[in-house]
């Protein structure tokens, strides 16, 4: 009798063991197949973040081929293996991304692509520029075609929210706002308002915040207009020049840039209005979602250019400033600016914690420049917009350009 009971107990334990093993196998298969349940858990459960931070492979949880979930650290590893940064830029934007007759790109956004390359590789030219239209740009980030998007892209709640767009935004590099341009010969002036858009044809690039802003703004004042949508800014401007529309609208920097260089405005007939932009357009870097390693690198490259500007460090003196601070440290520390020492790769540097070379930001400033150098050489000299009195002035000068401390 005792043996019979013992055999029954062993049989029950064996059955429980087999069921548990089968359940564990099913769960493993669900995870490997990227099932919907696994994807939903990773996106909505805080506990999944602990796993992803310790295991680079755990982020590949989605079976949806329309979007890409980037794993922790995967972009940096891919970039290092490739040997260059794939950087998405505008197809053409005065002062931000322009290609000369020799195929060389220049501009504000272009320089920040160079800055990331300088930080990662110590070589500002270790970058592949990928010109993208507004319609193409987000797909390029989602699919991994580009590692970084520097393409006059507005940071909005909808774009930043988790979901199909799968993107994160870095620090704002340029505070912009939407404006319009019309012709003085058609009755527009600096005092024109959005109410004067009523009954007109308006050219802008499709699939942008610009299109939505003008629609909302005109409707709010009880007006209506006919939208003439274009693939990109150059096409929209061509339509305006050809008389297919009465108004061209885009970010204020784009409107001012076109007004400054377009031959059609040689006689000064174009007029930009209203004086106060109709929207907020914070522009900056965009990168794949949920990759904090790569995101931290992009963010601190931007911050480094801002801190350098605050500290008076530029492309002509960065190496000398490092040497000066090192000498002060060796002499006991009198007059030492410890933040400059850390930023440029000296004692206490934090670049290594970002998986960058210690001299990463020294390379950024020496090879590309600080924020003011990047702004002035592109935006001021090309478009005529100055930082003074604008949101793009430094915080000490009444603007919004500000960086966390390098410590």
Helices and strands, number each (H, E), in the chain: 16, 14
Q: What pLDDT score was predicted for residue 16?
A: 42
Range 69-96 average pLDDT? 87
Cβ 231 vs Cβ 254: under 8 Å: no
Q: How many domains is the chain partitioned into structurally? A: 3
Residue 31 reports pLDDT greater than 80 = no
Do 119 and 224 belong to one domain? no
| Segment 139-198, tens digit of pLDDT | 999 999 999 999 999 999 989 886 667 799 999 999 999 999 999 999 999 999 999 999
Do 141 and 191 belong to one domain? no
Do 153 and 33 belong to one domain? no
Residue 113 reports pLDDT greater than 70 = yes
Do 251 and 400 belong to one domain? no
Cα dihedral sign, 305-311-313-318: negative
Residue 245 reports pLDDT greater than 70 = yes
Q: How far is CA 186 from CA 54, 177, 236, 259, 271, in A?
A: 63, 24, 19, 16, 10
Range 271-297 average pLDDT? 96
Question: Does any domain span residue 322?
Answer: no
More confident residue, 378 or 161: 378
Range 331-344 average pLDDT? 98
Do 190 and 274 belong to one domain? yes
Do 403 and 286 belong to one domain? yes
Domain that residue 269 falls in:
178-279
Range 80-98 average pLDDT? 97
More confident residue, 6 or 273: 273
Query: Which tokens in the block code for residue 401?
Result: 């350009």
User: How would you label 352-385 residue by residue, b for 16+ Cβ within 10 Å and e otherwise?
Assistant: eebbbbebbbbbbbbbbbbbbbbbebbbeebbeb
Do 220 and 293 belong to one domain? no
What letter would DSSP give residue 400? Answer: S
More confident residue, 8 or 388: 388
Q: What pLDDT score was predicted for residue 164?
A: 66
Range 66-75 average pLDDT? 52
The residue from 279, 301, 331 where one domain ends is 279
Range of weakest confidence among 66-70, 126-130, 131-135, 273-277: 66-70
Residue 348 reports pLDDT greater than 50 = yes
Q: In the chain, what percentage of residues exceed pLDDT 90?
A: 77
Question: Does any domain span residue 342?
Answer: no
pTM exceeds 0.85, yes or no: no
Q: What is the mean pLDDT of the chain?
A: 86
Range of weakest confidence among 10-24, 78-92, 152-166: 10-24
Q: In the chain, what percentage of residues exceed pLDDT 70?
A: 81
Do 288 and 139 belong to one domain? yes
């Amino acid at each position: 009798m005792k043996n019979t009971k013992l055999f029954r107990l062993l049989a029950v334990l064996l059955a429980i063991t087999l069921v548990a093993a089968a359940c564990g196998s099913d769960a493993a298969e669900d995870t490997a197949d990227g099932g919907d349940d696994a994807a939903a858990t990773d996106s909505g459960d805080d506990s999944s973040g602990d796993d992803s931070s310790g295991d680079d492979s755990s982020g590949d949880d989605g079976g949806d081929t329309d979007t890409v979930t980037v794993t922790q650290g995967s972009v940096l590893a891919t970039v290092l293996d490739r040997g260059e940064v794939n950087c998405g830029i505008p197809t053409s934007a005065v002062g931000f991304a322009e290609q000369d007759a020799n195929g060389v790109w220049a501009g504000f956004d272009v320089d920040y692509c160079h800055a990331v390359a300088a930080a990662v590789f110590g070589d500002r030219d270790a970058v592949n520029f990928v010109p993208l239209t507004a319609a193409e740009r987000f797909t390029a980030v989602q699919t991994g075609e580009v590692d970084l998007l520097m393409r006059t892209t507005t940071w909005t709640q909808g774009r930043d929210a988790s979901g199909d767009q799968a993107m994160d935004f870095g620090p704002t590099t340029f505070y912009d706002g939407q404006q319009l341009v019309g012709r003085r010969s058609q009755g527009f002036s600096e005092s024109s308002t959005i109410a004067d858009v009523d009954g007109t044809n308006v050219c802008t690039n499709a699939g942008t915040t610009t299109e939505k802003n003008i629609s909302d703004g005109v409707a709010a004042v009880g007006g209506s207009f006919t939208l003439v949508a274009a693939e990109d800014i150059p096409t929209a401007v061509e339509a305006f020049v050809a008389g297919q529309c009465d108004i061209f609208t885009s970010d204020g920097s784009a409107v001012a840039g076109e007004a400054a260089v377009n031959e059609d405005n040689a006689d000064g007939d174009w007029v930009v209005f209203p004086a106060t932009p109709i929207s907020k357009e914070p522009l900056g870097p965009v990168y794949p979602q949920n990759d904090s390693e790569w995101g931290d690198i992009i963010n601190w490259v931007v911050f480094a250019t801002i801190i350098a500007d605050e500290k008076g460090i530029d492309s002509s003196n960065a190496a000398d400033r490092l040497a000066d601070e090192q000498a002060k440290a060796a002499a006991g520390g009198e007059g030492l600016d410890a933040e400059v020492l850390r930023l440029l790769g000296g004692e206490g540097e934090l670049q290594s914690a970002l998986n960058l070379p210690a001299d990463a930001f020294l390379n950024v400033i020496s090879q590309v420049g600080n924020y003011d150098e990047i702004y002035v050489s592109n935006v001021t000299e090309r478009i005529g917009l100055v930082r003074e009195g604008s949101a793009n002035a430094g915080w000490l000068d009444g603007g919004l350009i500000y960086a966390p401390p390098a410590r």
